[in-house]
Every structure is written in structure tokens, then in C-alpha cells.
Copies of this chain bind each other. A is one copy, B any other.
Amino acid sequence: MKKSMDSQPQEVRLGLVGLGTVGSGVFEILKNQAVSLEKKTGVRLILQKIAVRSVSKKRAVSVPKALLTTDAMSVALDPRVDILIELIGGIRPAKEIILKALSSGKHVVTANKALLAEAGEEIFTAADANNRKIGFEASVCGGIPIIKSLREGLVSNDISQFLGIVNGTCNYILTRMSQEGCDFKTALVEAQAKGYAEENPALDVDGVDSAHKLAVLARLAFRSAISFKKIYVEGIRGLRREDIGYAQELGYAIKLLAVGKKHPKGLELRVHPTLLPNGHPLAGVRGVYNAVFIHADQAGDQLFYGRGAGKKPTASAVMSDVLDIARRNVSGSQRAKAPRLNFDNKKVLGIEETISKYYLRFQVADKPGVLGMIAKTLGQNEISILSVNQKESHATKSVPVIILTYAAAEKNIRKALKVIDASRGVSEKTIMMRVES
């Protein structure tokens, strides 16, 4: 980077890898706001090179051909580039590109939650070793400055837990299911028609994307390297509209939550459909919106809410990282170095080691003794019942019985359900969901 003189703007050169949805958004900001950003921040951002898959492809944005290359690695190596912006996603070749950029002295900004979740420590270690910054605000919750808030805003806080709605696709589907009473498939098709869900929606609806974001958030919130494979993940594909209805009757909304909790024995990290009481700040988050609810020991309860995805919100997050790095790494002194943030290695608890409240829907034969058997089995496994609702049913085969429990150990719940589901009066596998309050 050129050194800043009082009268001259700081020039910072960017290499952009990927010109898809978010990449186009970044390109447009750089093109349309060059003057206003320079005026605001004193930094002149110059787009040096853009790596794309095909130079001849038609694009919604008009890009000078001379800026384009199909050789992403050449951008990572380009000595004129100060900051490399990686927006192609996925592990390969993004990881190689980022590592090469860091080792050749560039700072990196990325929106790649999959990479940070699955190979984060390698990336962060490489950034530290090369004394380079890595910005990843865009990897979680789009334009909401949640990364910055966790890393800097709440730095003196001990964060005991957070709950996040971090996948807009799932939240849209769940919102439609609860508003319209439709089933998962109908809501998914609608989300696809509106462009809120991919043709292959697996990454979203099976909870993997939420787990990636959970890993990124948990690392910062709990200052610990996170073993992504240990995160428990359940998606929304199996969610039945009946259960959304029953939950509503009991005063709860069902959300796909990313849950992070710190216990003396380790971290609880899980993604699954969750019942939230209607008064909870996250229960009212609808449609494609994202929100993260944090409990911090000093600052108290906090909620961050906004658009979690899309071209403009995500590009806004990318630009906030770019300008942070551009503004704060201008001294010209390569030796100048902020102290490292330190991370330890907390254990991630297995799902059987966790404790939660539960929603259980049993499908039982409408005859004497079955409810007694269920109650007895729960009791034998140290599970206390908070409420019981047996639904009147006009089907002859079976009736639903909905039980909410007090906090119980997951391993006890599983043991009890194994017994109950094997018994005669129970006609279907019991539906089990966790409840947060």
C-alpha cells in the first residue's frame, strides 16, 4: 500500500476472486461509490484484477475486459494487490488461493463460511504467521455486523450462550409453514420460485450452512478453536406441519436455531429445529431475516437483526472488512503488529451429554394404559413432565399426545424413547424437538 500523506488519499489495491452474486455487489459498490468512499474514509480503493471462470460470459454488470482473468492464482500472487477478496466459496480451490495470498503478503477478505468452519485454524494460523489480516464479516448473517460485535464490541464480556437464526432459506420456509399451514415441500417449492432456495437445497435445509456459521460464531464467542465435525446437526426436512401447529397452540414458534452454550465441561454446539416461546425476541423473526441473540455477562442480553444474505447486504459486509483493513494497516511498517487474539481448545460436548427441555409427540393407540406407560417410562429416566396434551382424533388408528418436559439429559430422553417406541401402544416413531426459553 502507498503510504498516506495528509493531503493524499491512501491507495489500496484489491484483487477480487469470484464475480457471482456477492462479487457483482462488491464490484458495483467499488464502481458507483469510489468517490464517496474515498471522501468518507480517506482511502482510494483500486480494483486491480478480477478472477472469473469465463471471461466471455454475459454478466448483469458491465466489467472492463482488461480487469478479467481466469487465473485466480495469478491474482493471489499479483504483487500490486494489497487485499484479496475471495468470493467463490467452497473448500477447493478457495483454500489454496487464500493461503497463497497470505503467504505472498496480502490481507484477505472472505465470505466463505464452509472454509472457515472446516479449515479455519489452518487459515487463521497462516494469517498470523504472515502477519496479515483476514476479514470474514460476510461469512455470517450478511450485512449484520455480528463478527465485529463479537470480536471487538463485546471483548470484555464472557459470553455464556447465543442463539442464532442464521439461515434465511430455512427461516423463510418455516415462516411460510407456520403462516400458511403448508407442508415442508410446498414451502420449499415456493422458496425456490422466489429465489430464496437453491435448486439443490440440501446445504440449507439439512442445516449444514447453519452449522458452518455456528462454528464461525462459536470460535469468536467462546475464544476457542472449533472442531466442526463435532457439531450436532439436524435440518428441517423432516419437520411436520402438524408439529408446527401443535407448538403454536402451546404458545411456541419453531425455528431452526444455531445454539452455542458454554459449560464448565465444554461447549454445546448444535443446529436443530427448536421451540421458542412466542415472547422470545427470536420468535418474531420472520421470512428471510436473520438474527442472533447473545447473552453476555457484562452487556446483558443483546439482539442483532437484519438481512442475512443477498447481494447487497453481503457486499456491504465485505466492504466493511476491506475498509477496516485498508484504514488500519496503512502505517507502511510491516513490523507493526497488533497483539494476537488468543484462542484455546475447548471440548465440544457430544449431543448425549447435553441437557435441554423437550417437545415430544407420541402417536399412541387410543386405549387405556398407554399414557401411563409413557409417563412411567419418562419418570424412570428422570424426565419430569411440564405439560401433557392429548389431542382428540377422528382417525381410528392413533392419537397424538404432546408432552413438554422440564430440563432433562438428552441421553435419558433417548433411552426413554427407545423403550417407548418399542412398546405396543405406540404406532409411530416419536417426534422429539428441543425447547429453548
Contacts and interface: CB of A to CB of B under 8 A. Distances in A.
Contact of A327 (B142, B315, B339): B339
Contacts of A316: 154, 156-157, 296, 298-299
Interface string A156-171: 1110000000000000
A310 B301 CA distance: 13
Interface in A387-432: none
A299 B340 contact: no
Nearest to A37: B156
Contact of A339 (B43, B301, B337): B43
Interface in A291-318: 291, 296-307, 310, 312-313, 315-317
Nearest to A319: B156
Interface in A319-340: 319-320, 323-324, 327-328, 330-333, 335-340
Interface in A262-286: 281, 284
Q: Which among A142, A303, A333 has the greatest number of chain B C-beta atoms within 10 A?
A: A303
A229 interface: no
A65 interface: no
A178 to B, nearest CB: 16
Given A299-B306, A339-B9, A320 B156 contact: yes
- One complex includes copies of this chain to the number of 2
A39 interface: yes
B339 A313 contact: no
A132 to B, nearest CB: 15
Interface stretch (A81-89, A101-109, A145-153, A241-249): A145-153
A143 B41 contact: no
A18 interface: no
B338 A328 contact: yes
B40 A323 contact: no
B324 A152 contact: yes
A323 B148 contact: no
A336 to B, nearest CB: 3
A348 B436 CA distance: 46
Q: Which among A9, A137, A281, A338 has the greatest number of chain B C-beta atoms within 10 A?
A: A338
Nearest to A293: B305
B340 A42 contact: yes
Q: Which among A144, A331, A338, A339 has the greatest number of chain B C-beta atoms within 10 A?
A: A339
B330 A331 contact: no
A370 interface: no
A33 interface: yes
A332 B327 CA distance: 17
Contacts of A313: 298-300
Nearest to A137: B153
A56 interface: no
Contacts of A236: none
A53 interface: no
Given A33-B156, A152-B324, A302 B40 contact: no
A342 interface: yes
Contacts of A346: none
Nearest to A39: B342
Q: Which among A29, A298, A304 has the greatest number of chain B C-beta atoms within 10 A?
A: A298
Contact of A341 (B9, B10, B41, B281): B41
8 contacts: A4-B337, A9-B339, A29-B298, A145-B153, A299-B317, A300-B312, A304-B304, A331-B335
